[in-house]
Structure 1
Amino acid sequence: MNFKIAFIGAGSLVFARTLFTDIMSVPEFRDIDIAFTDINADNLQKVTELCQRDLEANGISTRIQSTTNRREAFKGAKYIINCVRIGGLEGFETDIDIPLRYGIDQCVGDTLCTGGIMYGQRVIAAMLDFCKDIKEVAEPGAIMLNYSNPNAMATWACNKYGGVRTIGLCHGEIHGEHQIAEVLGIPHEELDFTCAGINHQTWYISIKHHGVEMLDKLLSAFEAHEKYKEEEKVRIDILKRFGYYSTESNGHLSEYVSWYRKRPDEIRRWINLDSWINGETGGYLRVTREERNWFETDYPKLLKEPPKVFDGSDRGHEHCSYIIESLETSRMYRGDFNVMNEGCITNLPYESVVEVPCYVDGNGISVPKVGDLPLGCAAVCSQSIWVQRLAVEAAVSGDVNLLKQAALMDPLTGAVCNPPEIWQMIDEMLVAQEEWLPQYTEAIARAKDTLSKGNLIPTNHDYRGAVRLREKTPEEVASEREKRTITAS
């Protein structure tokens, strides 16, 4: 087979290399063309060097096209894999730290809440530019496989306004499936799962073992599990009150609803600090910063580690490689993807992005009709969808009123802040993120003028959140490398 795959955001050490390993583990793909592109030339060079070494160790003669010119990378590509973080760590820090001054305590801040909304403004502006280039230089009908968050917002914008078929990919449901198998004491391969909802708020609406529904056994099983009853308190509480387990981690889920992080003295009740993903304040920002610092100091050691093996033993469970394999070889694959709803989930808005079971083979990607979600689950998703829609339309048009309305309607933001506080906070964030928000030039000028006049609502600049841990040194990170590699994978 001969076709081209382009990776954008290829300077992501762990993730880009993981996806690349998955793809090259398909025997038929040994002769395909690969392009890596990133705006960080140093990271791009390092990741390319590692992946090229992996190719050579596996006896594959392919040479990776590595370039900071994305149009060159996109030229003739049939598939574009997107895993960019627009604004990098600098932008990410403002997503977490500015809302904290107003009392909004986020764990991740990349999907909903104030951080996710602002991240969406940056990502959508950039991805619409990607779409323009894809339509002009990639193979006609090229598909973008999107891993960038906020996944639903970005996928929505690219499909509706970018003119490029975009499939949003996430791995939340895979982790949850294994949790469920563990608490039930049933091998994962014996269970048949049906998940449906929206990205990071997807629900296991059916779990069958040899045709027998197991949903009624979940709550008691999780409450009895020594590890998960401490680490997944939010998810278990949602399961208790809505009747269905959520695919998303405790920390992620806690910031998408209004109930668990609105009062600092209560946050500790719902989270666990054994891992950042359980709900630590700014936890994902901390570990991302630690990995960046470690990468800069320990990269030479990576070159001394054994190369990846492309015989399938190093292949992971990310959907990306399996989708491409199915489209190219006609081997069927079933996975949960983010797609335009268009009637798939009948009690969620027709125009929205839903995460549902899909089937892939040589005929393409098929999206079966799920029908209605359980009413309570649909209500939770619908509230988030309206925030997403406001944020998408704001990002595309540069309409600051829609942007502020999105923040006002966000469950956690609205639970913590009043409207004047939200208006001021968004002005602060627009100014702080100016270099990544070309669509808001006029709004940013007005925000600067407003903020310069003084008479501002007081905020707590010293507040670090309810449970924020110390950042580890590169040496400490290196000592935990094996554990972190497993987590990252």
Structure 2
Amino acid sequence: MSFKIAIIGAGSVGFTKKLFTDILCVPEFRDVEFALTDLSERNLQMIKSILDRVVEFNRLPTKVTAMTDRRAALEGARYIISCVRVGGLEAYADDIRIPLKYGIDQCVGDTICAGGILYGQRNIPVILDFCKDILEVAEPGAKFLNYANPMAMNTWAAIEYGRVDTVGLCHGVQHGADQIAEVLGAKSRTELDYVCSGINHQTWFIDLRLNGRKIGKDELVAAFEVHPVYSQQEKLRIDVLKRFGVYSTESNGHLSEYLPWYRKRPDEITRWIDMSDWIHGETGGYLRYSTETRNWFETEFPQFLESAARPIDPAKRSNEHASHILEALETNRVYRGHFNVKNNGIITNLPQDAIVESPGFVDRFGINMASGITLPEACAATCISSINVQRMSVHAAISGDIDLLKLAVLHDPLVGAVSTPEEVWQMVDEMVVAQARWLPQYADAVPAAKERLSKSRIKTREWAGAARRDVRSIEELRAEKTALKQAV
């Protein structure tokens, strides 16, 4: 088979390499063309060097091109994969830093909450540019696979306003299933069957079967509470399981941001999180991790390039959905996964215009979603709170209405638990001014926001957060990796 795959934001080097090698695990895809595009010429050349090494070592006919001209990269593409971070780590740092001045402590800040909403405002205009190019120059009927966060907002904008055939992809369901299989003593995840449904980063395992036997709440709670690692790392997640009756797909740190109960007071934050790794609730944890990962890659690039000279091993193909979706669409080998699409009857007790994450099957006819699923009421209530925020955020990003943006932030569960309306209004002004270069739709609103900030009397504080860690140096990271190898 010969067709073209364009990857936007391909400078996300590690993830791009994973997608690339996963796709080449499919024998029929040896002749595929990959067109890489990114704003950074330097990052593009680094990832192209790595992928060229993979192709050369495995003696494949696969073609890899790299260009900063996005439209040229999309020309004739059948599949377009996006993993962009608009504004990079510079804007992301503001997503964490500015809300902290108002007492809002985020672990990740890329889905909802103050950081995730502003992240969506930066991404959505760019997503619509992608869609315009896809409709004009990509292969007719091209499919857009969005990996970029905020997943629901980006996918909502691409479907509703971009009018492109779009599916949002995430790996949270797979990771959650791995945990459940482990605590229940399964030899592999294949022994576990499940229905997992909700919205991205708030999906719920509403039916669990281990080798055909139904697993109830009490058994699952007991299994997590005796696990030597997860009982400490997932304290908040286990508490939600006890109260809601079902397990959430999302990590301890992520889940804590979407609820109004666990991160609203510093003493409560430290009670519910675990500092053994960033993903369990550390303040700005993903920002620190992303910064260290970038610094490590740039310093250790020769090692990454050398390690690319290895055989592609289908046994090590990851559980990221992209390669499996493409395989099913092109070969009719059916794939079951969990996908982000417009609701339209898939989940009965969530709004029909929302982007939901739910089970589906892929074959030559496309992505076929199971419909008629009903969530437990508590799960639906939590999801609806986020959906209302997402909807307002998308509409604000499209219209450039700063008042609607402020209302979206005000209605965010965690923001509302921490901040007053006056603080929210000022915080949004401050974030829009700080990120103005990535927010073209708010250009007319920026002067007035600056004027309001110059006259404001609302007090803020310089606060690192309840559980902040410093970014580690390359030397510290190298020493840690050496120690881990020695321990093994």
209-218 or 143-152: bigger deviation: 209-218
Q: Output the CA distance in 2 between the equivalents of 1:259 and 1:315.
A: 38
373-382 or 295-304: bigger deviation: 295-304
Instruction: Give the 3-state SS of the residue equivalent to 1:64 in structure 2.
Output: strand
Kindly state the Cα deviation for residue 471 of structure 1 after the two structures are TM-superposed: 1.1
Which residue is equivalent to 2:238?
Answer: 236
- Residue-by-residue CA offset, 1:400-433 (whole Å, 9 max, x unaligned): 1111111000000010000000000000000011
Kindly state the Cα deviation for residue 301 of structure 1 after the two structures are TM-superposed: 2.3
Which residue is equivalent to 1:319?
Answer: 321
- Amino acid aligned to 2:304: L
**1:457 equivalenced with 2:454 (yes/no):** no
Kindly state the Cα deviation for residue 294 of structure 1 after the two structures are TM-superposed: 1.5
Which residue is equivalent to 1:65?
Answer: 65
Which residue is equivalent to 1:169?
Answer: 169
Alignment of 1:224-303 (within 5 A): 224-303=226-305
Q: Is the 8 A contact 1:236 1:245 kept in 2?
A: yes
Which residue is equivalent to 1:146?
Answer: 146
- Amino acid aligned to 1:427: D
Which residue is equivalent to 1:10?
Answer: 10
- Residue-by-residue CA offset, 1:82-108 (whole Å, 9 max, x unaligned): 000000000000000000000000000
- Amino acid aligned to 1:448: K
Alignment of 1:71-86 (within 5 A): 71-86=71-86
The 3 A distance-change label for structure 1 pair 12 and 117 is same
Q: Is the 8 A contact 1:276 1:283 kept in 2?
A: yes
The 3 A distance-change label for structure 1 pair 306 and 6 is closer
Instruction: Give the 3-state SS of the residue equivalent to 2:386 in structure 1.
Output: helix
Runs (5+) with no aligned partner, structure 2 = none
Q: Which of 420, 441, 454 is 1:439 aligned to?
A: 441
Kindly state the Cα deviation for residue 32 of structure 1 after the two structures are TM-superposed: 1.1
Q: Which of 403, 406, 418 is 1:404 aligned to?
A: 406
Which residue is equivalent to 1:134?
Answer: 134
Q: Output the CA distance in 1 between the equivalents of 2:48 and 2:437.
A: 28
* TM-score when normalising by structure 2: 0.97
- Residue-by-residue CA offset, 1:17-38 (whole Å, 9 max, x unaligned): 1111101111100001110000
Kindly state the Cα deviation for residue 63 of structure 1 after the two structures are TM-superposed: 2.8
- Amino acid aligned to 2:440: P
194-203 or 474-483: bigger deviation: 474-483
Which residue is equivalent to 2:55?
Answer: 55
- Amino acid aligned to 1:147: Y
Kindly state the Cα deviation for residue 215 of structure 1 after the two structures are TM-superposed: 2.4
Q: Is the 8 A contact 1:294 1:475 kept in 2?
A: no
- Amino acid aligned to 1:341: N
- Residue-by-residue CA offset, 1:118-160 (whole Å, 9 max, x unaligned): 0000011110011001111001111110000000110001000
Instruction: Give the 3-state SS of the residue equivalent to 2:258 in structure 1.
Output: coil
- Amino acid aligned to 1:390: M
- Residue-by-residue CA offset, 1:340-367 (whole Å, 9 max, x unaligned): 0011101000000000001001111101
**1:88 equivalenced with 2:85 (yes/no):** no
Instruction: Give the 3-state SS of the residue equivalent to 2:336 in structure 1.
Output: strand
Q: Output the CA distance in 2 between the equivalents of 1:311 and 1:305.
A: 14
Q: Output the CA distance in 1 between the equivalents of 2:481 and 2:404.
A: 43
Q: Output the CA distance in 2 between the equivalents of 1:38 and 1:183.
A: 41
Runs (5+) with no aligned partner, structure 1 = none
Instruction: Give the 3-state SS of the residue equivalent to 1:475 in structure 2.
Output: helix
Kindly state the Cα deviation for residue 292 of structure 1 after the two structures are TM-superposed: 1.3
- Amino acid aligned to 1:252: H
- Amino acid aligned to 1:314: K
**1:195 equivalenced with 2:196 (yes/no):** yes
Q: Output the CA distance in 1 between the equivalents of 2:129 and 2:482.
A: 38
The 3 A distance-change label for structure 1 pair 138 and 15 is same
- Amino acid aligned to 2:251: S
Kindly state the Cα deviation for residue 474 of structure 1 after the two structures are TM-superposed: 1.3
Instruction: Give the 3-state SS of the residue equivalent to 1:139 in structure 2.
Output: coil
Q: Is the 8 A contact 2:393 2:408 kept in 1?
A: yes
The 3 A distance-change label for structure 1 pair 137 and 306 is closer
Q: Output the CA distance in 1 between the equivalents of 2:55 and 2:301.
A: 18
Q: Is the 8 A contact 2:232 2:274 kept in 1?
A: yes
The 3 A distance-change label for structure 1 pair 236 and 167 is same
Q: Output the CA distance in 1 between the equivalents of 2:393 and 2:310.
A: 40
- Residue-by-residue CA offset, 1:421-465 (whole Å, 9 max, x unaligned): 00000000000110110111111121112112x33311002x100
Which residue is equivalent to 1:19?
Answer: 19
301-310 or 115-124: bigger deviation: 301-310
Which residue is equivalent to 2:98?
Answer: 98
299-308 or 161-170: bigger deviation: 299-308
Q: Is the 8 A contact 1:2 1:33 kept in 2?
A: yes
89-98 or 438-447: bigger deviation: 438-447
Q: Output the CA distance in 2 between the equivalents of 1:189 and 1:302.
A: 32
Q: Output the CA distance in 1 between the equivalents of 2:308 and 2:192.
A: 35
Which residue is equivalent to 1:204?
Answer: 205
* TM-score when normalising by structure 1: 0.97
**1:156 equivalenced with 2:156 (yes/no):** yes
196-205 or 297-306: bigger deviation: 297-306
- Amino acid aligned to 2:407: Q
Kindly state the Cα deviation for residue 62 of structure 1 after the two structures are TM-superposed: 2.5
- Amino acid aligned to 2:123: V
Q: Output the CA distance in 1 between the equivalents of 2:377 and 2:132.
A: 39
Q: Is the 8 A contact 1:124 1:154 kept in 2?
A: yes
Q: Is the 8 A contact 2:155 2:341 kept in 1?
A: yes
Q: Is the 8 A contact 1:308 1:314 kept in 2?
A: no
Q: Is the 8 A contact 2:31 2:63 kept in 1?
A: no
Q: Output the CA distance in 1 between the equivalents of 2:80 and 2:426.
A: 38
The 3 A distance-change label for structure 1 pair 480 and 360 is farther
The 3 A distance-change label for structure 1 pair 332 and 482 is farther
- Amino acid aligned to 1:44: L
Task: Work out the number of aligned pairs and report it.
Answer: 483
Q: Is the 8 A contact 1:196 1:370 kept in 2?
A: no
Kindly state the Cα deviation for residue 212 of structure 1 after the two structures are TM-superposed: 2.2
The 3 A distance-change label for structure 1 pair 35 and 107 is same
